Amino acid sequence: MTSTPENDKAHWDKTTRLMLTHLGLWFFFGYVIHFFVVPLNKIIIPVLNFPLGFYMAAQGSLIAFVVMLFMFARQQDAIDREHGVAEDE
C-alpha cells in the first residue's frame, strides 16, 4: 500500500481508537474498580483467602496492565502492517 493522505488518515484514526480503548481500560483498572474497594472487600476469593478489593489493588490491576501492554504492542503492530507503515523485519 502506498503512502496517501487517505491511508495515513485511516491509519491514524485506527491508532487513535486503539489508544482511547486502552486509555479507558487503564482508567477502569487504575481507578474505577478501586472506588468500590469497600463492597469488594466483602467478597473473599475462595482458596486464596484474599479480600477482592485488596487483591485488585495489590495484584489484579497490575496483571491487567501487563496483559494490556502486550496486547497493545500486537494490536498496534497489526494496524501498522494493515496500512503498510510497519517497519521491515
Partner 1 sequence: MSTASGASSDFYKNLGRMYATYTGGFLAFVILLAILEQVGVPNRILGYLFVGFTIIVYAVIGVMSRTAQVSEYYVAGRRVPALYNGMATGADWMSAASFVGMAGTLFLLGYDGLAWVLGWTGGYVLVSILIGPYLRKFGAYTVPDFMAFRFGGNTARMVAVIVLVCCSFTYVTAQIFGTGIIASRFLGMSFEVAVFAGLAGILLCSMLGGMRAVTWTQIAQYIVLIVAYLTPIIILSTKEFGIPIPQLTYGNAIAEITAREGQMLASGLATAGGLKPHIQPFLNYTPLNFFAIIFCMMVGTASLPHILMRYFTTPTVREARQSVAWSLLFIFLLYFSAPAYAAFSKLEVYTNIIGRDVSQVRPWMFTWGELGLIQICGKNAASIDAIVAACKAIAGHPGVVRLQDFVINTDVIVLSTPEIAGLPYVISGLVAAGGLAAALSTADGLLLAIANALSHDVYYKMIDPSAPTVRRLLVARILLLVVAVAAAYTASTRPGDILAMVGWAFSLAMAGNFPALVMGVWWKRTTAAGAVWGMIAGFGLCIFYLVVTRYFPGAGVAYFGMSSLANPATGLPLVDLAKAMAAPGAMDSWVTVAHPLANKVGWFGLTNIACGLLGMPLGFLVIYVVSLMGKEPSKEMQAYVDEIRKPRGRTVLEEKT
Identify residues 37-66 at the interface with partner 1 (CB under 8 A). 37-38, 41, 44-45, 48-51, 53-55, 57-59, 61-63, 65-66
Tell me the C-alpha distance between 6 and 34, whole Å.
41
Give the angle subtended at the CA of 7 by the CAs of 5 and 12, to the nearest 5°: 95
- Nearest CA to 74 among 31, 59, 82? 82
Query: Under the rule (CB under 8 A), what is the footprint of partner 1?
Result: 3, 8, 11-12, 15-16, 18-19, 22-23, 25-26, 29-31, 34, 37-38, 41, 44-45, 48-51, 53-55, 57-59, 61-63, 65-66, 68-70, 72-73, 76-77, 80, 84-88
